[in-house]
Structure 1
Amino acid sequence: MNHITRLTAAAVMLASGGAAMAEEMTVTIVAGHPPVFRWVKHASQTFIPAVNEALEGTDHSITWSEQYGGSLAKVGEELEAVEEGLAEIGLVSSLFDPAKLAVQNVTYFTPFVISDSTVVSEWMDELQATDEVMRASWEANGLEYLGGAIGIDDYLLMTTFPVEDIADLDGRKIAAPGPAVNWLEGTGAVGVSGNLTTYYNEIKTGVYDGVIVFASAALPGKLHEVAPYITKVGFGAQYAGGLAANKDWFDGLDPVVQQALRDAAEADRVAYHADLDASVSTFLSMMEEQGATISEVDEAFRKEWADGMDNVAKLWAERLDAEGLKGTEVLKTYMDTMRAAGATPVRNWDQE
């Protein structure tokens, strides 16, 4: 709660002799990505309306300040903005905070596992709430995880050149988000860390020869205009973060408001993934209609790629174990859950 809200609430309490008080809050929500991307759009169109609806008829109301697209924090800076109280709530990209939210990045160290982003997001939201290691990493950074897992649809390879063989990648500069750079090991490509806000211009100017990206962001980002060769490699669906609140602020809220935020985050996840599932094939078709060439590799290609990588998942887990973060346990739980959900991983990272 900011100081203005506290003063307003205190005045109301004094006037009412300490009775239950009405509370009008101004809440800032932040995202580094612009609302052209689906997870930001749903923060505005699903999460906020759901909170407001839940608070109707209560003694609480919120006026929202929506700060997206780098207006308050750039991609990867959302955690710090919320932690420092510049915003009360953020779409926190764990993908771009691999040091502070290391265990949350388990999916990005286990490619070629499952393509169903809904399954991944549901399980990851549950894990944030039930796993002590996951919870502790949010709390260590002064955050309260609300939910609204950002599941990412099956990652693609988009390039300025056709890819028919892994050897075609030799010496090429390929950008990828955060830990996904590790997916390029063994291919001969030069992996470069990047994000959606810079991909278009970097490809257009020749800095990158391609990117690892997903269809639901590639079309809004117009990446097919500069990287028209789309190769469906089957890297898999991922978890990229979710909605989190400043913990001190959240802990000071009335339980009615706390529950409204959690319920709205769940509604956001459900709506976001329904929207996502309905759009992926459509977006691919639209990019093809606009001149992109789409191809899909066979299982032999996929296995060759996966087998050519170091076991980055095991190395990641062992590093976290050394830091007392139970990485091996998290890795095994994730892989077991995905297999139980029907996944047939190209490579069982936890069993090697």
Structure 2
Amino acid sequence: MKPHKIKRIALSAAAICLAAATAVSAETKLILGEAGPNRGARAAALQHFVDEVTARTDGEVVIDVQWGGALFKANAAVGSIADGVADLGTIISVYFPQEMVGYGIADLPVVNADAWVGMRATDDLMRSSDTIQANLANQNLVYLGTFTTSAVNIGCKDVAIRTVDDINGLKIRGVGAYGDTFRDFGANMVPMSIYDAYQGLDTGLLDCSQGYSYAVGALKQEEVMTSYTLLNWGQVGALGVFMNKDVYDGLDPAIQAAMADAGVAMADKLGELITADNAAAVEKMLMAGVEVIELSTAERDKLVVQGAQYVDAWVERASGVGIDGSALLAEYETLLAKYAEERDTQGYPWTR
């Protein structure tokens, strides 16, 4: 081979290597820790967030999701993200009642049964509250987007809850302020995970289990239930994606904005998926012969009134970390009304 051809080939190879190095350096790869498995509506919504970030940054940001607690378990998420074990990840507020007290507002037993309305109100609050953002910043965290488990309901075997008086004496699996309210109405609370509730109902260890429609369907609990009461009460919505603030602050503002937009889109996607899954699960229950009961507004309001003490307790807890809980609660209720009106006048985003 002639010397000038060898030189030209060498220069071309160098140019290719330089171009590749430039492309690699332009790409930002982030690691996301998720304690749950890569299946179900929430996982699909999280993947939607990941894909949206890449699309909205024209491929500049790529997120590698480590599923199933590969990097950290759910009860270690706050410290792991803040310390940089992952660049970002999912935090479930109930594991961190003090650190995530502001976010915990989405778990309160207020009238808030619509998954999309609840998520968008929570998302709006988390982005607009300077106090919450400052509290998170002190923990080296930044909020990016929210999920929900959707409306809290209750399924039973060989009994039915048609009024709050029917709760008295029942063996119930319940969690959070919702479970505490069931206890106030005379329930005998049984500590058990939702994943063990099938066996609990089947063997008689439980009369009823607090849960969510799509979870009943996913866990096939309709096979051991005879009744399912739609409470039209509230939901557990304080779980979402947060980012290490040091890493976030190092990103270009345009990328930060793209991640925020992807976070809003994530709530819309989960709203679409979980609304469909809940409807399908209720239909599955009906086909299995389960009696589906809708609690009356008057009976539901008794739950709300009784649960108000747990809302008050949250306000006091928030005040303990410098957050005006009363003001935040009023803002949250205003946002719930705002997005409920948007739903009623414009429909859900995926139906427009």
Q: How does 1:176-187 map to 2 (within 5 A)?
A: 176-187=174-185
Q: Give the gaps of 5 or more residues in structure 2.
A: 1-17, 342-352
Q: How does 1:1-352 map to 2 (within 5 A)?
A: 22-44=25-47, 46-56=48-58, 60-62=60-62, 64=64, 66-111=65-110, 113-147=111-145, 149-163=146-160, 164-191=162-189, 196-200=194-198, 203=201, 208-309=206-307, 311-339=309-337
Question: In the TM superposition, what whole-angstrom CA distance separates every residue of 1:40-99 from its partner, at most 9, and x where no partner exists?
Answer: 22212x112112223336xx35261x2223333333433233223222221222243222
Q: Aligned in 2, Cα 1:137/1:305: closer, same or farther, shift over 3 Å?
A: same
Alignment partners' CA distance in 2, 1:228 and 1:140: 49
Q: Aligned in 2, Cα 1:29/1:188: closer, same or farther, shift over 3 Å?
A: same
With 124-133 and 321-330 compared, the bigger mean Cα shift is at: 321-330
Is the partner of 1:239 in helix, strand or coil? coil
Q: Aligned in 2, Cα 1:308/1:53: closer, same or farther, shift over 3 Å?
A: closer
Question: In the TM superposition, what whole-angstrom CA distance separates every residue of 1:109-148 from its partner, at most 9, and x where no partner exists?
Answer: 233x13222222112111111112221232232211112x
With 271-280 and 125-134 compared, the bigger mean Cα shift is at: 271-280
Q: Aligned in 2, Cα 1:333/1:68: closer, same or farther, shift over 3 Å?
A: same
Alignment partners' CA distance in 2, 1:240 and 1:251: 24
Is the partner of 1:77 in helix, strand or coil? helix
Alignment partners' CA distance in 2, 1:35 and 1:238: 21
Structure with greater helix percent: 2
TM-score by length of structure 2 reads 0.79
Is the partner of 1:114 in helix, strand or coil? coil
Alignment partners' CA distance in 2, 1:288 and 1:312: 33
Alignment partners' CA distance in 2, 1:131 and 1:194: 35
Q: Aligned in 2, Cα 1:186/1:86: closer, same or farther, shift over 3 Å?
A: same
Is the partner of 1:271 in helix, strand or coil? helix
Q: Aligned in 2, Cα 1:279/1:250: closer, same or farther, shift over 3 Å?
A: same
User: Where do 4+ consecutive residues of structure 1 move more than 6 Å?
Assistant: none
Match of 2:346 in 1: none
Is the partner of 1:219 in helix, strand or coil? helix
Match of 2:3 in 1: none
Alignment partners' CA distance in 2, 1:279 and 1:218: 10
Alignment partners' CA distance in 2, 1:308 and 1:255: 45
With 173-182 and 100-109 compared, the bigger mean Cα shift is at: 173-182
Q: Aligned in 2, Cα 1:176/1:75: closer, same or farther, shift over 3 Å?
A: farther
Question: In the TM superposition, what whole-angstrom CA distance separates every residue of 1:160-179 from its partner, at most 9, and x where no partner exists?
Answer: 33224434433433233434
With 164-173 and 181-190 compared, the bigger mean Cα shift is at: 164-173
Alignment partners' CA distance in 1, 2:69 and 2:272: 26
Alignment partners' CA distance in 1, 2:258 and 2:269: 16
Q: Give how far 1:203 is off.
A: 4.7
Q: Give the residue type in structure 2 aligned to 1:93.
A: I
Question: In the TM superposition, what whole-angstrom CA distance separates every residue of 1:193-219 from its partner, at most 9, and x where no partner exists?
Answer: 665455445555655443221112321
Is the partner of 2:86 in helix, strand or coil? coil
Q: Aligned in 2, Cα 1:87/1:201: closer, same or farther, shift over 3 Å?
A: farther
Alignment partners' CA distance in 2, 1:199 and 1:89: 32
Q: Do the aligned partners of 2:105 and 2:238 also contact (CA within 8 Å) in 1?
A: no
Q: Do the aligned partners of 2:125 and 2:331 also contact (CA within 8 Å) in 1?
A: no
